[in-house]
Chain A
Amino acid sequence: DVQLVESGGGLVKPGRSLRLSCAASGFTFSTHAMNWVRQAPGRGLEWVSSISDDSDYIYHAESVKGRFTISRDNAKNSLYLQMNSLRAEDTAVYYCVASRWYFGSVYWGQGTLVTVSS
């Protein structure tokens, strides 16, 4: 079975940092692009960051550019999101998403909650 398990969420003060991890299993991690998508409480989905299968291409939403960094380790089947200078508006459930659109292969984790509050 495909599994994407996020970890690293929690309560953090504004201006501090947090690192999210996502452990993947049950599919060929190295052939999928990986993404972070977030959802603020009671709100819609917001794309945050993407990284290509070989890490050659990295994209971040304007709202997090310069503060968040996405990375992956194909040897460990793991995805990461380093979040610096956190703001209250970054409060959300962060989902790890694997995508290989050509084949319609898209998998979501269950999400990890990040709360930024003093």
Chain B
Amino acid sequence: DIVLTQSPGTLSLSPGERATLSCRANQSVSSTYLAWFQQKPGQAPRLLIYDASIRATGIPDRFGGSGSGTDFTLTISRLEPEDFAVYYCHQYGSSPTFGQGTRLEIK
């Protein structure tokens, strides 16, 4: 199975700052089958990015995804108050897996 390791575990930033979240795989993710989800307390996850860099419908352009192979990044260019949440990377090849999550909290 592909193991996804997200870093940092917790990221403390202020609104308006730039957030950079990392997701590293222990083997290459096929065809950039890599997605990012946002989850707020008590809610189901929401798809932000798929195919490593394509924003899902309705996702603001301050969210950006990049990477290939084993290293992927989610960037939030200017944090809004509603962006503070937990973020998960997810590879959706055969035998899908999730990263353990990065908590983005208000500093």
Chain A residues packing against B (C-beta within 8 Å): 35, 37, 44-47, 50, 59, 61-62, 95, 99, 101, 104, 106, 108-111
Contacts and interface: CB of A to CB of B under 8 A. Distances in A.
Contact of A106 (B47, B97, B100): B47
7 contacts: A45-B37, A45-B98, A59-B94, A106-B47, A106-B56, A109-B44, A111-B44
Contact of B47 (A45, A46, A62, A104): A104
B90 interface: yes
A46 B3 CA distance: 12
A59 B23 CA distance: 24
Contacts, number: 48
A109 B56 CA distance: 17
Nearest to A33: B92
B94 A45 contact: no
B100 to A, nearest CB: 5
A50 B96 CA distance: 9
A99 B37 CA distance: 13
Contact of B33 (A45, A46, A61, A101): A101
Interface residues of B, number: 25
Residue in A59, A61, A101, A109 with the greatest tally of chain B CB atoms within 10 Å: A101
Interface SS of A by simple majority = strand
Interface string B16-51: 000000000000000001010101000011110011
B45 A44 contact: no
Given A104-B54, A106-B50, A45 B90 contact: yes
Given A104-B50, A106-B47, A47 B96 contact: yes
Nearest to B92: A101
A37 B96 CA distance: 10
A62 B1 CA distance: 10
Interface string B46-63: 110011001011000000
